Amino acid sequence: KPQAVIFDLDGVVTDTAHLHFLAWQSIAAELDITVDEQINEQLKGISRMDSLARILRIGGAEQRYSEQEKNRLAERKNALYVASLQQLSPASVLPGIAALLEELHRQDVRVGLASVSLNAPRIIKALGLVEQFDFCADAGQIKHSKPDPEIFIAACAGLGVSPANCIGIEDAQAGVEAINASGMLSLGIGEQLKHADLLLPTTAQLNWPLLQTFWLNQHS
């Protein structure tokens, strides 16, 4: 069996991916830039400042704002996002996740979090899941967003496990690439993801027997 399972947060543990989308959409609208669901897919797993840079590039506006203005825009996006996090509660944990976390502990499989969100600690707290994660990688210490494997490697190091003994779970294309680059097995959540070692349509299909079978099939 795997020694650890490492989770992405936004879009895997809870549906904050949608809240990021709404906050960016409203900031972009002020700049006359349209952010649709397809553009939002490219922002998943990407840090706050990198997301802003992409949105400005899509709007052909990357030269229009000073560093200071960009920082202000990112701060305002975050204020909108943080306000929307007030709606989070333990009921916001996506289907299948809470039961899987409990079962992983029963099976003595370590549990890690690999989110590049600086808001991850407060989200985990609002979801009532602080005790369920053996180690959460610190996004503040990470230099490169996904698809760089840095955050997944940091999570493995914090858990004291080798990536080759772990499964990573992701809803973003950049995240699946990051898991693959780290040397972990990748489990993608969503219909459109490419290159995942296993793809499930939603978190509702996630459970321990499925992870065990996935692991055994990849190691036979």
As a whole number of angstroms, the distance between CA 167 and CA 188 comes to 11
Does 47 belong to an annotated binding site? yes
Residue 195's DSSP bridge partners are none
CA of residue 76 relative to chain centroid, distance: 21
Does 9 belong to an annotated binding site? yes
Angle between helix 97-106 and helix 208-218 axes, rounded to 10 deg = 70
- Upper half-sphere CA count for residue 187 (Cβ side, 13 Å): 25
As a whole number of angstroms, the distance between CA 56 and CA 51 comes to 9
Question: Closest approach of Cβ 50 to ligand BG6, in Å?
Answer: 8
Closest residue to ligand BG6 in the complex (CB): 117
As a whole number of angstroms, the distance between CA 96 and CA 211 comes to 12
Here's the x/- map for ligand BG6, 29-58, by CB under 6 A: it reads as --------------xxxxxx--x-------
As a whole number of angstroms, the distance between CA 31 and CA 159 comes to 42
* Number of residues in contact with ligand BG6 under rule CB under 6 A: 18
**Nearer of residues 10 and 215 to ligand BG6, judged by Cβ:** 10
8 is catalytic: yes
Here's the x/- map for Mg ion, 164-193, by CB under 5 A: it reads as -------xx---------------------
Residue 110 contact among Mg ion, ligand BG6, none, beta carbon within 5 to 8 Å by kind: none
Residue located via tokens 């600690």: 121
110 part of the interface to ligand BG6, by CB under 6 A: no
41 part of the interface to Mg ion, by CB under 5 A: no
Residue 170's DSSP bridge partners are 188
Yes or no: say if 23 and 81 are a contact pair by the CB < 8 Å rule.
yes
Which residues are part of a known binding site for Mg(2+)? 8, 10, 170-171
Residues forming contacts to Mg ion in the complex (CB under 5 A) are 8, 10-11, 171-172
Residues forming contacts to ligand BG6 in the complex (CB under 6 A) are 9-10, 17, 20, 43-48, 51, 78, 115-119, 172
Which residues are part of a known binding site? 8-10, 24, 43-48, 51, 77, 115-119, 146, 170-171
